[in-house]
Each structure stands twice: as structure tokens, then as C-alpha cells.
Amino acid sequence: MEKLLEVKGLKKTFYKKKIPFAAVDNVSFDLNKGECLGLVGESGCGKSTTAKIITHLTVPDSGSVLLEGAETLHVKGRQERELYRKVQMVFQTPQDSFDPRCSLGDGIMESMRNQGMQKRRAEERMYELLCMVELQREFASRYPHEVSGGQCQRAAIARALAPDPQLIICDEATSALDVTVQAQIVELLRKLQKERELSLLLISHDLALVQKLCDRVLVMYQGKIVEQGIPDEVIRHPKEEYTKMLVDSVF
């Protein structure tokens, strides 16, 4: 399969009370076009820091990130805007990711308007995206605090789809939702991935969720990738002690 994303030797050290700790410690992996890749591990293991490095929200100490073979860590200006068009992120708490002063419709249209799309066309596209994530047109005029967590997360997914990205990174995108709504969001992501030939990087602490959705899984522990493979194989035949503990805690 053709590689979309290549992460090579990422390192990021933070300091707590002047004591260094490696949040990301020599992390390397590939993600293929059209693939759903899971990155699992307990809170604080470095999953979100890795995602933030890929999306330019955190600067690494060293390493490389390539998108379609081109280095992205040091791009600026127009090239950085193009990166944000190609790579989008869906966060854990959708209400916090929207401007509370703006309607969901305005939030979805923001990236399109920033790219110079005319208002009328942006509105048409916004309604198309709401339909795509199974929300009625009336949600365009609602504000983040006026909708449920699941509805807001659907709107966040619509916003991520707006620039027609190649890769969507879901950082614990279902963990703040109840079980029934989690299942609905997972089914929506699965459907959108197939229909739009999207690549997904699914960051989660939930192995069962990753098993349902992902083609491959990476297990992260204390800043390192300690195990990887097909989800069923990793779950049934874990090799590392940490992975065994993770499997036992879920199943």
C-alpha cells in the first residue's frame, strides 16, 4: 500500500519540577492511504503529544514527519496552511473545540471562508457536511452548549471534513461520550472512511474500540511504541507485558 504519513524517530522531552521525562521517545511508524491506524495506551503515555507534533501544535526535540514523502515539521506560511488542509483533528471534548460565541454552522464554515470560498458556496457546503454526519439543517444555527456531546462531535467531524483532508486524527474522540453514542460515532467514522477513502489515526485507551475500527494498532507505553500488529492478533496473542495488562483490563 502507498504510504501517506511517515513518522521517524520523534522525541519530545518535558520538564516537571526541573526533572526531564521523555513524553515521546524515538517513535516511528507509517500510515498508509485509506488505512485506519490505532494508537493505544494509558493516559500520559505520549499519544496526544505525538498527535500534536504531527499537527504542528507541539515542536519536537528531534525526528521527522513526512506527508506523501514531503517533510512537514518545518513548513510555514502557505505550506503550513496546506498541511492543515490535508490533516485535520477531532478532539476529545467537542464543545471546547468550538468558539462558544459562534454557531456550529459558522464553526464548520470557518476553514472554507479562510480559504477564500464565497459565503453562499460555503453555506451550501456546510449543509452538505451536516447531512453527511447525519445532522439536520437546523443544527447550523445552534451553539455548542445547545446540543448534546454526540451531536457536537458530529459537527466537529463535519468541520474536519470541510477542507477535504486526506488524514483525520481522532484524539480520544469518543471517550467523553456514553457507550451508545460512542458506537454511533464509530459507525459514522467507519462509513465516512470507506465513502471518502480517508486515512484515520485513532488515538484511544480503548482496545475494544480499536479492534472494531482499525486495520492495525500500535501500543504505546512511557513514550515508546512497544508492540504493533493487526488488532485481533495483538489482543489474542500479546507479546509485551504492558500489552497483556492492557488486554486484561479491557477483556
What's the pLDDT score for residue 115?
82
Whether residue 94 is predicted with pLDDT greater than 90 in this model: the reply is no
What lies within 8 Å, CB to CB, of 238 at 6+ separation is 227, 244, 246, 247
Between the alpha carbon of residue 129 and those of residues 36, 90, 115, 116, 132, the distances in Å are 21, 15, 17, 18, 5
What's the pLDDT score for residue 1?
76
Share the mean pLDDT of the chain.
93
What's the pLDDT score for residue 67?
96
Nearest 5°: CA angle at 217, between 212 and 220? Answer: 125
Average pLDDT over residues 6-20: 93
The strand pair at 224-229 and 216-221 is best described as antiparallel
Average pLDDT over residues 6-16: 95
> How does residue 11 score in pLDDT terms, banded at 50, 70 and 90?
very high
Beta bridge partners of 225: 220
What's the pLDDT score for residue 131?
96
Exposure string of 148-164, with b = 16+ CB inside 10 Å and e = fewer, is ebbbbbbbbbbbbbbbe
- Residues 13, 22 contacting (CB under 8 angstroms): yes
What's the pLDDT score for residue 183?
85
Domains and CATH numbers, the chain: 3-94+165-250 (3.40.50.300)
What's the pLDDT score for residue 149?
92
Q: What sections of the chain are H helices per DSSP?
A: 47-54, 78-86, 94-97, 104-114, 119-132, 149-161, 179-196, 207-213, 231-236, 241-250
> How far is the C-alpha of 229 from the C-alpha of 216, rounded, in Å?
5
Amino acid at 214: C
> How does residue 231 score in pLDDT terms, banded at 50, 70 and 90?
very high
Between the alpha carbon of residue 58 and those of residues 53, 211, 236, the distances in Å are 5, 29, 35
Helices and strands, counts by H and E, the chain: 10, 10
What's the pLDDT score for residue 39?
97
Q: How far is CA 230 from the centre of its chain?
A: 19
The strand pair at 62-67 and 70-71 is best described as antiparallel
pLDDT tens for 173-225 read 888 788 888 888 988 998 999 898 899 999 998 888 899 889 999 999 999 99
What's the pLDDT score for residue 59?
95
What's the pLDDT score for residue 244?
93
pLDDT tens for 110-168 read 988 888 889 999 999 999 999 999 999 999 999 999 999 999 999 999 999 999 999 99
Average pLDDT over residues 83-97: 91
Q: What sections of 16-116 are H helices per DSSP?
A: 47-54, 78-86, 94-97, 104-114
